[in-house]
Structure 1
Amino acid sequence: MYAILDIETTGGKYNEEGITEIAIYKFDGHEVVDQFISLVNPEREIQPFVVNLTGINNTMLHSAPKFYEVAKRIVEITEDCILVAHNAQFDYRILSTEFKRLGFDYDRRSLCTVELSKKLIPGQDSYSLGKLVRSLGIPVTDRHRASGDAIATVKLFKLLLSKDTDKQIVSDAVRLNPKRQLEPRHIDIIAEMPSVTGVYYMHDEAGKILYIGKSNNIKKRINQHFTGTDRKSKKIQAKVTEVTYEATGSELVALLKESEEIKRVKPIFNRALRRSIFTHALYSFEDEEGYINLKIDAADGRKKPITTFSNRMSGKSFLSKAVEDYNLCQKLVGLYKTKSSCFKYEIKECHGACIGEESIESYNERVKALIEKNSYANKNMVIIDKGRDVDERSAILIENGVFKGLGFFNLNYQITNIKVLESIITPMKNNRHTQHIIQSYLRRNKRLKCISLD
């Protein structure tokens, strides 16, 4: 659990500043679950430059509560939380100083979004909150007021969590808040899980990731793990003490993240690299007459496929539909073995490419259209899918036919802005598995929005 905060002060000599406004958003890694926002009477004058910067003046604070009147609420909302702030050293020092004046030792762990941003989003022109969030396409209002800056920090931290591929932030939080060994059915953990699409991580009591999975309903899937009676389920039930998750909104994003995370982390309860998520592929070749033929064959890493399939039957089904949609010849796609005309020609549904009656140019044009539709080779594009919230979308970046990574963006921003796009994208590895995942998803979701960057 995180307490994301921003503090406005009077300015002045070091350790003599007073708080004029504070905003705290309690954040569970996915959404804000509690908040506290208040002006504070600092019982001292505000420096003129601070008044000009924040708009907060002495008159506004005359009837505001003094720090000792809000201290109890601050302690409660930040209890068992990691403090998160932009330039956390400053906010934590100010808060600790105020509590020391009350004779209270305020001790919390903290995270700085400036330091995290420099590590996870390198190369930015500026890491000041305003310039950084604008460059990332994050909307910000009420700049230099506690609530506006704190909520911008929440959105920034959410982006940083998604870019933290090592899951170090989450693992540290799990270790900070160890939970007791739950009952065998792990009812408490299941109760905390949402019924959303995403990736989930099962941890042991030291925070180590033991298993990574993907589901369109995380709560239902975790329940299956904790109620299963097979050998693997029992091992998970014995060792797992905490489950964290990352909502993705998009099933495609969840599939890609799951594949990448398993290969990188290699959790002990995940099968080694999930070797064969596809076994067959679609290939093309020209016959002696010059017609483009299609063929489903066993996947071969030495050849470049048009698209891939989980099994031969799936490939054959795809070709059968392609024959209908593109008016192709059954013989030239390998579905009808004959030395003469195909069955479709006999019922006048094939133009006769099988016996040389249709021109090579005319037939090949339709085959090329199918290949173009089902392969993103050499393409520069962004696949747009669902986001985690109603005003958000996910973006999967393809450059020159290579999967580069993914991210999330607010609907208020144009994703065709390449600078914003590069900032929000978390780089990921391109391999045969990611290609299969993307191509299979595009086949199943015909209405998916794809934006060309050419």
Structure 2
Amino acid sequence: MYAIIDIETTGGQPSEDRITEIAIFIHDGNQVVDQFHSLINPGRPIPFFISQLTGITDEMVRDAPKFHEVARQIVQITEGNVFVAHNVRFDYSFVKKEFSDLGFNFQRKTLCTVRLSRKLMPGLPSYSLGKLCKSIDIPLQMRHRAIGDAEATAVLFDRLLKIDADKVNADQEEKHHEKSAISKEIKTSLLPPAISKEMVDALPLEAGVYYFHDENGEIIYVGKSKSIRKRIIQHFNIDLKSKKSVEFKNRIASITYELTGSELVALLYESDEIKKRKPFYNRAQRRSVYHSGIYSFVDQDGYMRLTFQKSKSAVAPMLTMANQFQAKNFLFSRVAKYNLCQKLCDLYKSNGACFDYQVHQCKGACIGKESPEDYNKRVIEAMDAFKYDHESFVIIGKGRSADEKSVVCVENGCYLGFGYFDESFSACGLEDFKNVIKPYNDNKDTQQIIRGYLRTKHGDKLLVFN
């Protein structure tokens, strides 16, 4: 039995928005045998643009039941049935969230008619409900109303059932004995519409960087993992909480990857690829230019001072930042954590004491009350927190095959890049390792990646050079 469901909502965020209408058609595998439909009072105003799209207004839902008043009916009519919808993750996420707010764990097997249509009716120009129905002559009345869309989806599902049955019968006659597409899709309903189980099964269980492409081949997301297949399955198994998440998942049309062998190389390569390719769904990690830096110097009174300014080509900063604002905030965090002086960190302009001294947070280095020796110990401790333990070193880890090793090079505190060497390689010094790497940019992210990795139980070999 199948429960074919469509909903309308106040917006695209299951965590914030609410259902305004729900329609359910029960299909027994031969025909529709039952149905349920109701407007829902969302308990909040419906945005004007949503009302324009759906035709559902505040006046229409004012006297409608709230979700908790129809929840029992929804549970009863869907009990034991497969939850079917066009882009099922969207509808399922909203219904699941409404029940979660009531303290009830709503769980059903799911089936997506977008995925099923792609598989059983390949080559159509579009698989959106409106265009798909137009392509195959399914009447679609009351578009963007739950009752109209659910009814059209029920007709579509009925047609897909017949296509699937014909295909299974033909396969049995040819002795292929292939399982029905519907039973397969129920097992893989969490996958994006254009991604098959076979595509996921072909992915490696090894470290590397992976790419999600849209139907035009454009890279829309770059990720990394110690096990590419496991990480991608985790992506697809997540219950979607927002319209953007649903949109992202539905745009994935193909997956490619690059093996790295080493987890550290995967981290570094992913960071570089995101900055270079700027995928749409990696917005938080797309910083590629580091205009500012954290510098240090000793003043005439012997105090070690920290300052932030635009990066200089002649002098390497201790740490690079995307902009002055970020650098300033970083120094404020160091001042708070290590009890440093705001004035001596270029954060407070004054001829006398800094503000923190006035509120008893600074020990008085700004007015000579704390000795340079005592103050500088804390500055060194703060600086060590964003420096490597060694100036020049290489990290040797797993390669992409059994007879290969990876190497990451750092010289004078600067990340140079990574590369690979085989069993025949022999190195006498850092220069030999530099000859096998491909150069990559050093920046704040690579510094943090390498420092963080070295603090883990990684099992890689660290070679330090003077």
TM-score by length of 1: 0.42
TM-score by length of 2: 0.41
Larger Rg: 2
